[in-house]
Each structure stands twice: as C-alpha cells, then as structure tokens.
Amino acid sequence: MIEVRGLTKRYGDKLAVDNLTFAVEPGKVTGFLGPNGAGKSTTMRLILGLDRPTSGEAMVHGKQYQALGYPMREMGALLEAKAVHGGRSAYNHLLCLAQTNDIPKRRVDEVLGLVGLTEVAKKRSKGFSLGMSQRLGIAAALLGDPQVLMFDEPVNGLDPEGIRWIRNLMQALAAEGRTVFVSSHLMSEMENTAQDIIVIGRGKLIAQTTIDKFIAENSTGTVKVRTPQAEALAKAVAAAGGSATTSGADALVIQGLSTDQVGDVAFDTGIRLHELSQTRASLEQAFMELTADSVEYHATVQGSGQTAVPAGGRHAAGHAAPDGPPPQITNAPPPPQDTESTSEHAGRTS
Amino acid sequence: MTAVTTDQSHLSTLPPAQGRANLLGTLRSEITKIRSVRSTYWTMIVLFVVTVGISALITWLTASHWDQASLSQRATFQPARNSLIGLYFGQFVIVVLGALTFTAEYSTGMIRTSLTAMPRRGVFYLAKALVFAVAALIIGEVASFVAFFLGQALLNTAPEHISTTLGAPHVLRAVVGGGLFIVACGLLAFGIGSLVRHTAAAISITIGVLFVVPIIVNFLPTSWSNDIMRWLPSEGGTAIWNTAQQAHEWPAWGEFSVLLGYTAAVLIAGYILFRRRDA
C-alpha cells in the first residue's frame, strides 16, 4: 500500500510534482503513466525519501519511507538500472544492500538465480548490458521479499523475452497479494499488465482509474460496418443521430451509435450487413488524447526520423504534435538509459 | 543468459527480523563496499609504495651524503622526521581515496540505491566515515611504521650514528602520529567530497588546502607567515612528526588539533548538507 497525499515538489521555479494525491492498492499491478518529464520519476524519488517534498507526504504501509524498520523488507524499488558502482560485482552489490537490512547471504544467491544472473554474479557490473543491469536492479528490489514493489520504466532496453519476463513477474507478484507500482511512458506496455492506472501530466494527476474505465471515458469508440449498400446505410445512420465515414469501397466507420443501434437501423431499413464490429480504442490512443495538452515538449520535426530536442536534450521521441500523425510508439526503440536519466535530470533542473 | 522463470517457490522465506536496520548492518555493508572495488587496493598499494619509497630514498641520500652536511644541518637533524617524509606525499593518495569513498556514490548513481537500503542518512554517513577512517588508519600506521624502520636502517649506513629508536623522546608520537595524519587528511577529503559531491572538485580543493595554501603563505613576510602558518591544516601533519617544535608551530598535539578541527568542521558541514539535500 502506497499513499500519496498532496505531494508537491518544486525545483527552482519548476513545479515537477503538483499536489498529487493517490493510493496504490495491494494485489494488483498499478501502472503509473505519463509522458516523459511528467514527474513520474520525481514522484517515485519522493516516495523513497531520496528527495524532500516541498509539501505533502508519501507513505508506505502508513509510514514515511525513512521510518520503515527494515526498508528493503517492506518495499523494493528499481529506479535507474545504472544506479550501481560499475567496479563492484553483482554479488557484492547485492550483498552490501542485504547486510544493511540484515538479510541473509543465501538470499543474495537466490535472487541472482531468480533474475538469471547467477553465471555473471562475480563479474563487475560495468560490463553488463542494459538488460542485465535491469535484472540486477530487480534482484535488488526483490532482495528483502517486500510486500510493496516499485519499478521505474522496468522494460527500458529489454529484448522481447525480457519484457515478457518482467510482465509475468509483476503479475505473479501482484497475484501473491503484493502492491506493484510500475511507471511507463508507453501505454501499450500497461495495456496487458496493469489493472489500475494513475495518469499524470506536468506533475498533475490526470486520472486514477481502471484500464477499462480509462478507455471508455477517454476515447470515442467506433463501430465498423461492411455493407454492399454503404451509401444508403450512411444516410440511415445520419437520420438516427450518428455519423458515418467511408473507409474503403464497402466499409463505414460509424461514430455516435452503438453496435446494437447500428444493427437495428440496418434491419429497419432493410440494408444487408456483412460485418458489424466494435472498434475498441486502444489505451495508447486514449492516453495520447488525454495528455496531448500536457506533453511538455512536442516533437517539431515530423517524419524525418530525427526528433527535435528542445530544452536541454530532453528525449522527445514518441511525442507527436497533437494534430500530427499518431507516432508508432510501440515500435519505437527504447531510449538508451543514459539519455533517459539525462532527460529526467533536465526535467528537474530546467 | 540462462532461462528465466517467475517461479519463486524455490526461494526460501526470509527469517523475520526484529528491530530495525541499524549502524551495525550499515557498517558491514560499507566494509563490503570498500573491499569490493579495485580502486581501494590500488590506492592503498600506491600510498604504501609512495610513502615508504620516498622515505627510503631520502634517508638513503641523507646517510650517503652525511659527510657533506653542514654544521647547522647536523644540529637540526631529526632522524624520525627524515624517515617519515614520505607521508607528506602519501597524504595526497589518501586524499584521493577519501574523496572517492563519498563522491563515487554520486558519480555512479549508487547513492540512490544505498539510501533506499538505509534511508536514515546520519547512520549511513557515520558508517561510511567510520569504515573509511579505520581503513585509512590501518594503511597509514603500516606505512608510517615501515617507513620509520626502513628509514632508520638506511640511516645506520651513515659513517656516524644518526639514527633513532621508538624509545627516544617524541619518536613514538611522531610515528603513530604519522598514521593519524593520514586518517585526518583522508577524512578532510571525505568531508569536502560530501560538500561538493564531485570527485575531481573534492580532490583539487583538498590538495589546494593542504599543499597550495602553505606555499602561498610561505611567500608572505616571515612575521606574518609564522602567525598564519600555525593555523593551517597542513601544519598539523608536519608538526606531528617533528620531534623538535618549530618556531611557527604550536606544540605537536596542539598543532595536530588544528588539522582535526578543520576536518571535524568539514565533516559536520558535510553531514548537515547531506541530511538536507536531495540525493
């Protein structure tokens, strides 16, 4: 259980987190969504007590993080994968963390096995790939067998197998009754993983809801119809209060009417239907619509493969201008970790 | 990479812990940290080689040129000091390790992981400083004693008897103090590191304070420089391994307390900032 009340963080004249209030419940995966620079990482740092809130408070199990008896046994966190001393072996990295929280040595070997790093346990972590570093960070988070887990962009830089592994892990942890709080700037990642989502933009809470409700409330569902009498159906739909646009020779996309209503209209007017289906708006689309106004830096160069990077090298890939073509976010390569952290830093200080 | 699984059933359950994470566990953690990176061993080896090597070189030169020494040189000769001169250079090596011990947490990003494991910052800061101080004390005393004994052996090759023993007045204080001087310099760098949180800045500031400031003061008129010199942290070291008090110095332990005072002030300031600042 994580509770955040009126949490606010100001860096200079920039409000990074603006009066956030939300609760993360145990037993499910809660996605923490927002564009880059929305304040997700800052919120997580405030929850961990790494940064001091300007006002408000963040509680884990009803206590501030600093007041937890053995913090790693109650809450595990993965912030940046590279928050390790590269000259230290994976084993010694985990060992020094375990010792602080009176966690036995054999648990270090166990979590190394769990994340698949046993073979490189004695190797210095500076030679690790980003994926291996992520696994090491997850091993650290699981070290204390905590009831609350928090991951900041955990699938960054992972291959498809690694992404599937993390999804399964998060769902398994939630199924055991743990609180799992995971941030991402990619909606598509959350669609199959999270049950609840918290959406922020420019440090402000935009929504806290379930995935299904979020889509239903924030996007207009459409009905797809194929019919040999497209023109006639379009008129009938208009008469019934909907609007239809043609898409191809015999297909219509209808807004403003449900599938039931469209079927009834067709029946009443004697129009033959070959297909009648609901097109569910994707989470990605709902998110883009909702946060269009709160994306801090829009990419200004479209389709050149080169995104404009204003204000201190912020990583702007994946942010399209609101009226631009929808970007292929799901296919975009994950940004390199160092760019990511630089952008977070820029977000804090600019 | 081996096949991965989400099956946690093979994991043993953690034995429940009573109480809360404390200084003891954090000390063990910091011991693991300092012994698990190569830079620790490298700096310690370099410190030893530099300190003992330069002391050996100086004492050997002194012994082999003793017949050419002037009367005043003979009158003011301090065999203990002569054999500990390498510590003057060893201090710069411990400055590097002292600064790195703190600033590497920031340059690597490890600080955020460390403070997640031990969010009570006072405990973390104390454990880190203590473990470093003990490591510096061990290498400092070893280097100081080896330099002394090797230096006296080399002074024995002189045509006259000019060497000394630990039993002679003030000699034991000078040799033990030599090791303590290494600790104090290292902690000064550690404290400056916790103020600036940047490796290169911490090292240059500390070396500036210990090495450059006394050179500048030396160029002032003698009546001024003597008054100022005794208040400089660098004098704490040279005074502690002198067996005869110099005109511009307080007595040995008094002068050493000047260095300790600066070190304590910097450590306390660093601690206060460390408690307040965002990590």
The interface pTM score, or ipTM, of the predicted complex is 0.90
More confident residue, A337 or A144: A144
Residues of A in contact with B33 (CB under 8 A): 85, 88, 92, 96
Please tell me which of the candidates A68, A110, A132 has its beta carbon nearest to residue B12.
Answer: A110
Residue A79 pLDDT > 80, yes or no?
A: yes
What count of other Cβ atoms lies within 10 Å of the Cβ of residue A168?
Answer: 15
Instruction: Give the count of Cβ contacts less than 8 A between chain A and B.
Output: 144
Q: Are the Cβ atoms of A86 and B108 closer than 8 angstroms? A: yes
Interface list for B 248-267 with A (CB within 8 A): none
- Identify the pLDDT of residue A296: 58
B9 vs A: CB within 8 A: no
Winning range, highest mean pLDDT, from A80-94, A292-306, B258-272: B258-272
Banded pLDDT at A64 (limits 50, 70, 90): very high
Of A225-229, B5-9, B176-180, the range with the lowest mean pLDDT is B5-9
B12 vs A: CB within 8 A: yes
Q: How does pLDDT run across A321-331, given as a tens digit for each residue?
A: 333 333 333 33
CATH 3.30.70.980 domain extents, chain A: 220-279
Per domain, the residue ranges of chain B are 24-276
Residue of A nearest to B118 (CA): A100
DSSP helix/strand/coil, B255: helix
Contact A310, A297 (CB under 8 A): yes
- Identify the pLDDT of residue B235: 86
Q: Are the Cβ atoms of B6 and A106 closer than 8 angstroms? A: no
CATH 3.40.50.300 domain extents, chain A: 2-216
Contact A152, A79 (CB under 8 A): yes
B23 vs A: CB within 8 A: no
List of long-range contacts for A17-20, beta carbons under 8 Å, 24+ apart: A17/A42, A17/A43, A17/A46, A17/A53, A17/A203, A18/A202, A18/A203, A18/A204, A19/A56, A19/A204, A19/A205, A20/A56, A20/A200, A20/A203, A20/A204, A20/A205
- Identify the pLDDT of residue A94: 97
Average pLDDT over residues A30-42: 92
Q: Are the Cβ atoms of A107 and B14 closer than 8 angstroms? A: yes
- Identify the pLDDT of residue A256: 84
Q: How does pLDDT run across A147-185, given as a tens digit for each residue?
A: 999 999 998 878 888 889 999 999 999 999 999 999 998
B72 vs A: CB within 8 A: no
- Homologous superfamily assigned to A220-279: YebC, transcriptional regulation domain (3.30.70.980)
Winning range, highest mean pLDDT, from A27-36, A275-284, A306-315, B261-270: B261-270
Percentage of chain A beyond pLDDT 70 is 81
- Identify the pLDDT of residue A303: 42
Q: How does pLDDT run across A12-23, given as a tens digit for each residue?
A: 989 999 999 999
Residue A337 pLDDT > 80, yes or no?
A: no
Please tell me which of the candidates A97, A110, A176 has its beta carbon nearest to residue B113.
Answer: A97
DSSP helix/strand/coil, B21: coil
User: Rounded to an integer, what is the distance from CA A302 to the centroid of its chain?
Assistant: 24
- Identify the pLDDT of residue A281: 67
Residues of B in contact with A47 (CB under 8 A): none
Residue A348 pLDDT > 80, yes or no?
A: no
- Identify the pLDDT of residue A299: 56
Q: How far apart are CA B197 and CA B79, in angstroms?
A: 40
The domain over range A2-216 is classified in CATH as 3.40.50.2300 = no
B122 vs A: CB within 8 A: no
Residue A68 pLDDT > 80, yes or no?
A: yes
Q: How does pLDDT run across B19-60, given as a tens digit for each residue?
A: 899 999 999 999 999 999 999 999 999 999 999 999 999 999
- Amino acid at residue number A282: S
Residues of B in contact with A100 (CB under 8 A): 21, 25-26, 28-29, 117-118
Average pLDDT over residues A275-289: 77
Residue A320 pLDDT > 70, yes or no?
A: no
User: Left, alpha or beta for A270 (phi > 0: left; psi -120 to 50: alpha)?
Assistant: left
Residue of B nearest to A102 (CA): B25
Locate B110 and state its tokens: 């490890």
Contact B157, B64 (CB under 8 A): yes
